[in-house]
Structure formats: C-alpha cells, structure tokens
Amino acid sequence: MARAISARGKLTARLARHSTGIIASLLFVAPIVWTVLSAFKPAAEARLPPLPPWPTTGFSLENYATLNSFGDGLWVSAQNSIYVSVMTVILSVIVSVLAGYGFSRFRFPFKDLFFVLILSTIMIPFQSILTPIFLVLTKLGLHNTLTGLVGVYVTLQLPFSIFMMRNAFDAVPREIEEAARMDGANNATMLVKVMLPLVWPGVVTIALFAFLGAWNEFLAALVLMTDQSKFTLPVMMTALQSGRFGAIDWGAVQAGVTVMMVPCLILFLALQRFYIRGLMAGAVK
Amino acid sequence: MTTITTTTTAPPRVRKRVGAGRRQWIGLIYVAPAVALVMVFFVIPLGMTAWMSLHNWPLMGEHSFIGLGNYWAILRDTRFWNALRFTGYYTLIVTIAIFAVAFPLAIFIERPRPFTNLYRTMFFMPAVVGFASASLLWSWLLNVDSGLFSPAAYDLGLIDRKFNLLATFQPAFWSIIAMVVWKVAGFTMIILMTGLQSIPQDLQEAAVIDGAGPFARFRAITLPLMRRTLALALILSVAGSILAFDQFYIILRGGPRNQTLTAVYWIFNQSFVSFKLGYGAALSMVLLVILVALSLVQLWLLRKPEGLD
C-alpha cells in the first residue's frame, strides 16, 4: 500500500518535471521555429500574421528570392559575413595559438606586462573606442574594408582565446616536449606536430567563439562598413527592416533572420561540448 | 653549431641557462602578433579617445584643442543623463528578470536525470543566436499587423482592437525585457549551474538530516557557497546591459519619443550621426570609467574566498 502511494508520488513528480521541461523548452525554441517555418511561405502569405506558423498555401522559396533583390542582395552580404567570420576564425586561432604557446613555455622580457595588457582589454568596452578605431583604419588604408573589420574582430577575441590557449598549453606535461626535443624537433615542428594535437579541444573552442562573435557582431560592422557592398548580414538586414529599400517585406526579414540563425544553431548543436567547455573556462577562472 | 658544442661539453646547469637565454627572444616572437593587434586596435585607440575628448573634432576639417570643454558640455547635456538614467533602469530591471528565470532553470537542470541534457540544449539555443538576429526576429513578432503577439491576442478575443506594442513606452520597454530574457537566460543558467554543481552534495544531505527545509538550505548553503558564481553572472549581466545597443536600435530606434536611448546609443548618435567625434570621445570616456569601476568591483567580488569565508 505504502509502496503504491510512493510509486504514484514518484510518477506525479516525474510528470510535473517533464511537463515543466517541455513547456519551458517550447517557449525557448518557439520563436526560432516560428521564423524558420514562416520563411517558407509565399510572399503574399508571409505578410499576414503567422497563424499557423507553417505555410498553408504551399511551400515556397519566394522570400529568399526577394531578399536577394534588395540593395546588393542577400548573397553579397552572406559572402561578406562568411568571409569576415572565416578569416576571424583562422587569424584568431593562429595568433592565439602562437601567443598561448609563447606565454606558456617561454620566459622573455615584459612577459607579464604583455599578458596583463592583453587580458585587461576585456575590461574596456570596445564600444567606447570605435571612433578612433575608425580613424586608425582610415590611416592604415583599411577604411571600409572587410579586412579592417576582421582585424577588429580578431583583437576582440584575443583576451578570451589567448587565456584559453595558455591554459591548454600549461596542461601539457613538459616531458612530452623534452622527448620531442631529444628527437631533434625544433620549436616550429614541435608546436605543429606535437603540441597542436594535444591542445586541439581548446582550438575548436576558440574557433567556435570566434565564428559566433564575428558572425553576430553588429555595432562595429554598422559603424565601420559604410558601403552597401561591404555590409555584413546583420547590417544589411537592419537596413532592410528599417524600410531603407522601400516598404518592409516581413517575409524577407524572416528569410534573412533564418539565414543568420541557422549556421549558429548548427555549429552549436554539433560542437556543444566545446561551447560549454569555453563557458566553464570563463566562469571558473 | 654553437649549441651543439655547449650541449655536449658544458655541465647541465650551464646548458640550461644558455638554452633559456636563446629561448627568451623566441617567446617574444610568438606573442608579437597578438601584442601588435592589441596595440593597433586597442591601446592606440584608447589613447586617442582620451586625446580626442579634449578637442573639438569634426569629421571634416581641422580639430582644435578645447581642454575640458567637452566635459563641461556633458554636465549640461540633459539628454545624455537621461540616456544614462534609462540605461541604469534597464540594467536593473533586466538583470532581475534574467535571474528570476535563469535561477529556477539552473536548479531544474543541475543534476543529471533523464532528458536533462536535452532540456539544457533547448533552453540554451537562443543564447547562440546573435543579438541582431534576435532583435530582427522579435521586431517581426512584435509588429502590429504582420507580427504574432498582437494579432494572436486579437484572434483569441483578448483585445478588441489590434494593439501596437511598440507605440508607447511601457509595452515597448517590457517587450524588450521579454526578448532579452528569452535570449540571455540560457547563458546565465549555465553559469549558475556550474556554481550549483560545485556545492558538495553531502553538505546538503547533512543539512537535510539536521532538519533544514529547502528554503533554509538555499539560504544557508546554496547562496553563500555560490558567491563567486553569482557575482560573475551578475557582473556579466550588468556589464552587458550597460552596453546595450542592438535591441534598442533595431526594434525601437530609440523610440517611442527617444525614451529608450541608451548610453551607447547616445554616443553612437553623437559620433556617427552628428559627427561630433570629440564630444563622442568625451562621452565614451565617461562610459569607460563606469565600466572600469565595475570591473574593479568584479575583481573584488570574485576574490578567492579566505578560509571558509
């Protein structure tokens, strides 16, 4: 009797727990799903309120086609975004792996000063130094270029990714290096052939954060990219949503938001382990 | 060549010193690209911000030194102070709202049970979407004619006329709060979860045996042992909110009636719409001081606990 009651109590608790979990999950995921589904409506239907969210008058890619007709088109902005994000990933990985290795394994003049300098940039909001960054880029001839934007994004990633990489290298036992050195490996081959495979999880983590950071950044791109052909997706979509290209086409906004969200979601779902790792590293420090 | 001779002939200690001496400069080469980037895109601009703030600096034409003129102007700039007050108000409300949602979620997913990982992933998904994407998404959901909320409420018969959520301050402000909580709560949840997981389980069990109820345990064990995590989550939320821009620019354009201009938005307007670069730099210095002060508070709050603390 008593056992039956407690079993029923357990069942009720489990039921309550999972209904809470499911309802909360739906609340968090619904806006994303709603947008992705609505983007597949024909343009005429996309103008109406999204009830229900899925297309009722037939599946269509019209919204994506319309999106490509605004300004320089979706494809140009998407290319810009891809270029900026991929370059930010490559450069921030190279720069942070080198610096992380340097800070972890060598003793050199001003080492502590440089390390503190790089980490302390996290305290300064980049929003407050955008005007001079604009002037510096002009001076370097990088004004209104995607390369200039990449430089800014890489710098923004450095405090986190160098901290990550230095810790990753610190965790590698020195005996491994000494053994490799005995075998005649020089510094460069050692870094690439011996050390890199050992710190690979850290590299994936910083690459993921660099991609998401560059792909999603808005204010710097808005300020520094003045030419429409250089707009990244967030800037281009905001221009569209503000009615800069005439009446606001909400179907096109849904399609654009989908294009902006899907890469982030796929990367996160595929590399979740590394993402959480990065958060923990930041949180535990 | 020299190295080889040293390694073969010299005693071990000398060999080590020579090796270290040679390696010193190599280390500098490894960190040079990072230091150069930080110099060009951070240190120099930071110095320039301070320098420019002492000038009248239009986009075109000559700039002129005006000493503290910009700072005196800031004192009389009621719209900046209004923006700062609004930013403070927003920061307070949104931080409370985020914690009110994120803390229960963190407790919900803290221990590994069936489907916990799935729920955690679901709650976290909006956090990887950018603020700009989330703002564009919600600007559509909040739209009076083509959006979701107002038409849905109308269809359900909750309101008898379509209601524009973005036309007046209160509904517009709370819409932004809802959007930010949706986007950020999962992130804060993960941070809080790491804190919860670091509390030894036997401490809680001992308290249960001593007859402590769930609230007593929360106050006497959970909160004090989570001090550093709580401080971190709090600071991240506060710093992020003080710098808020995307959502107010994209969804509200600072409206209705310029009531939702944040500090960064005002600096953006002064620098890149009115092109008063010197004045914008002075405003930036004020923001910078606030954020650095906050970071110092953070360092103090995150200090390692002394003894049992």
Q: Give the pLDDT confidence score for residue B92 in this predicted structure.
A: 96
Q: pLDDT tens digits, residue range B198-237?
A: 888 888 888 888 888 888 888 888 888 888 888 889 988 9
Residues A79, A44, single domain; the answer is: no
**Chain centroid to CA A29:** 19
Cβ neighbours around A32 below 10 Å, total = 20
Contact (CB<8Å) B284/A219: no
| Residue range B66-77: mean pLDDT, rounded | 92
The C-alpha angle with vertex A152 and arms to B57 and A193, in degrees rounded to 5, equals 155
Q: Are residues B167 and B256 in the same domain?
A: yes
Number of residues in chain B: 309
Average pLDDT for A225-237: 92
Look up residue B11 and give its two tokens.
């005693």
CB A253 within 8 Å of CB A238: no
Chain B residues close to A242, C-beta within 8 Å: 253
B85 and B36 in a common domain: no
Q: What is the DSSP letter of B304?
A: P
Q: For residues A135-164, give the mean pLDDT.
A: 94
| A127 and A163 share one domain | yes
Residue B308: inside a domain, yes or no?
no
Q: pLDDT-based confidence at A54, cuts 50/70/90? A: confident
User: Could you tell me the CA-to-CA distances from A147 to A80, A81, A143, A225, B180 in Å, in that order?
Assistant: 10, 12, 9, 11, 31
Q: Which residues of B270-305 are buried (b: 16+ CB within 10 A; e: fewer)?
A: bbbeeebbbbbbbbbbbbbebbeeeeeebeeeeeee
Residue B73, in any domain of the structure: no
Residue B298's pLDDT band (cuts 50, 70, 90)? confident
Which residue type occupies A265? L
Lowest mean per-residue pLDDT among A258-267, B8-17, B51-60, B296-305 = B8-17
Query: Is the domain of B201 the same as that of B271?
Result: yes
Domain boundary among A64, A79, A112: A64
Q: What percent of chain A has pLDDT over 70?
A: 97
Least confident interval from A32-36, A264-268, B239-243, B253-257: B253-257
Burial call A186-212: b when 16+ CB within 10 Å, e when fewer? ebeebbeebbeeebeebbbbbbbbbbb
User: Residue B280: pLDDT above 90?
Assistant: yes
Task: Output the pLDDT for position B211.
Answer: 83
Question: For residues A88 and A220, is the Cβ–Cβ distance under 8 A?
Answer: no
Number of domain units in chain B: 2
Q: Read off the pLDDT band of A177 (50, 70, 90).
A: confident
Q: What is the mean pLDDT of residues A147-170?
A: 94
Task: Output the six-digit token pair for A92.
Answer: 């921030």
Note down the domain range covering B292. 78-301
**Beta carbons of B55 and B63 less than 8 angstroms apart:** yes
Do residues A38 and A53 make contact, with C-beta atoms less than 8 angstroms apart? yes
Closest CA to B133 of B191, B182, B99: B182
Share of chain B above pLDDT 90, in %: 55
Q: What is the pLDDT at residue A4?
A: 61
Q: Which amino acid is at A193?
A: K
Q: What pLDDT score does B12 carry?
A: 42
- B113-159: per-residue pLDDT in tens? 888 889 999 999 999 999 999 999 999 999 888 888 888 888 888 88
Q: With contact defined as beta carbons under 8 Å apart, do B176 and B244 qualify?
A: no
Q: Is B19 exposed, middle or buried (0-12, 13-18, 19+ CB in 10 A)?
A: middle
> Residue B10 — very low, low, confident or very high, per pLDDT cuts 50/70/90?
very low
- Select from A35, A64, A93 the last residue of a domain: A64
pLDDT band of residue B163 (cuts 50, 70, 90) is confident
DSSP string, A178-217: HHHHHTT--HHHIIIIIIHHHTHHHHHHHHHHHHHHHHH-
Which residues contact residue A70 at a Cβ distance below 8 angstroms, ignoring those fewer than 6 apart?
Answer: A236, A240, A245, A249, A252
CB pair distance less than 8 Å for A132 and B131: no
- B216 lies in some domain: yes
Query: How many angstroms away from the CA of B107 is the closest CA of chain A?
Result: 12
What is residue B23's predicted lDDT score, i.e. its pLDDT?
A: 56
How far apart are the C-alpha atoms of B15 and B7, rounded to whole Å?
6
Confidence of residue A28 (pLDDT cuts 50, 70, 90): very high
Q: Cβ of A20 under 8 Å from any chain B Cβ?
A: yes
pLDDT at A114: 95
pLDDT of residue B22: 57
Q: Which of residues 157-196 of A touch B (CB under 8 A)?
A: 158, 162, 187
> How many contacts, defined by CB atoms under 8 Å, are there between A and B?
266
Mean pLDDT computed over B149-175: 88
Distance to chain B for A48, nearest Cα, Å? 5
**From CA B176, how far away is CA B189, in angstroms rounded?**
19
Residue A22 lies in a domain: yes
Cis peptide before B58 (omega within 30 of 0): no
For A:234-263, CB contacts with B below 8 A are: 234, 237-238, 241-242, 250, 253-254, 256-257, 260-261
Q: Residue B9: pLDDT above 80?
A: no
SS3 B56: strand
Q: What pLDDT, on the 0 to 100 scale, is given for residue A3?
A: 58
Q: How confident is the model at residue B6 (pLDDT cuts 50, 70, 90)?
A: very low
Mean predicted confidence (pLDDT) in A107-124: 90
% of chain B with per-residue pLDDT over 70: 90
Same domain, B104 and B14: no
Query: Within a domain: residue A169?
Result: yes
Could you tell me if B191 lies within 8 Å of chain A, comparing CB atoms?
yes
Residues A211 and B232: their CA atoms lie apart, in Å, by: 24
- Is residue A211 a contact partner of residue A89, using CB atoms and an 8 Å limit? yes
The per-residue pLDDT for B202 is: 84
If you average pLDDT over residues A35-64, what whole number do you get? 84
Please indicate, yes or no, whether the overall pTM of this predicted structure exceeds 0.95: no
Joined together, the tokens standing for residue B260 give 């939702």
Rounded distance, CA A285 to CA A164, Å? 10
Choose between B84 and B307: higher pLDDT: B84
Looking at the predicted structure, is the pLDDT value of residue A232 above 80? yes
For A10, phi then psi, to 5°, come to: -65, -40
Residue B16 located in a structural domain: yes
Kindly report the CATH number assigned to the domain that includes residue B249.
Answer: 1.10.3720.10
Between CA A156 and CA A91 the distance in angstroms is 12
The answer to whether position B165 is within a domain reads yes
**Average pLDDT in chain B:** 86
Residue of A nearest to B45 (CA): A132
Q: At A192, list the tokens.
A: 């690439």
Judgement on whether residues B234 and B294 belong to the same structural domain of the protein: yes
Q: Which of A55, A231, A75, A256 is nearest to B135 (CA)?
A: A256
Partner residues linked to B64 by β-bridges: B56
**Could you tell me if residue B64 is inside a domain?**
no
Residue A141's pLDDT is what? 92
Phi and psi for B259 in degrees, rounded to 5? -80, -15
* Ramachandran assignment for A246, one of left (phi > 0), alpha (psi -120 to 50 degrees), beta (any other): left
Look up residue B126 and give its two tokens.
Answer: 């909006």
Residue with tokens 């719209």: B79
The amino acid occupying position B262 is: T
Q: Could you tell me if residue A277 is inside a domain?
A: no
Domain coverage including residue A105: 70-248
Question: N- to C-terminal Cα distance for chain B?
Answer: 58
Q: Cα separation of A256 and B230, whole Å?
A: 36
Which of the four pLDDT bands, split at 50, 70 and 90, describes residue B242? Answer: very high
Q: With an 8 Å Cβ cutoff, are A136 and B253 in contact?
A: no
User: How far is Cα A143 from Cα A126, in angstroms, rounded to an integer?
Assistant: 17
pLDDT digits (tens, 9 = 90+) for B78-96: 999 999 999 999 999 999 9
Q: How many CB atoms lie within 10 A of CB B18?
A: 15
| Chain A contact present for B237, CB below 8 A | no
Question: Three-state DSSP class for A226?
Answer: coil
Ramachandran class of B111: left when φ > 0, alpha when ψ lies in -120 to 50, beta otherwise: beta
- Going by pLDDT thresholds of 50, 70 and 90, the confidence category of residue B306 is low
Statement to judge: residues A111 and A45 lie in one domain: no
Q: What value of ipTM does the predicted structure carry?
A: 0.91
In a domain, B60, yes or no: no
The answer to whether residues B99 and B221 belong to one domain is yes
pLDDT of residue A2: 54
Q: What is the pLDDT of residue B4?
A: 37
Number of domains in chain A: 2
**Segment among A245-254, B29-38, B97-106, B128-137 with least mean pLDDT:** A245-254
Q: Let me know whether A47 and A106 are in one domain.
A: no
**At A3, which helix (H) or strand (E)?**
helix A2-38
Instruction: Please list every residue in chain B whose beta carbon sits closer than 8 Å to the beta carbon of residue A269.
Output: 121
Q: Based on the fold, state whether residues A58 and A77 are members of the same structural domain.
A: no
C-alpha span between B281 and B271 (Å, rounded): 8
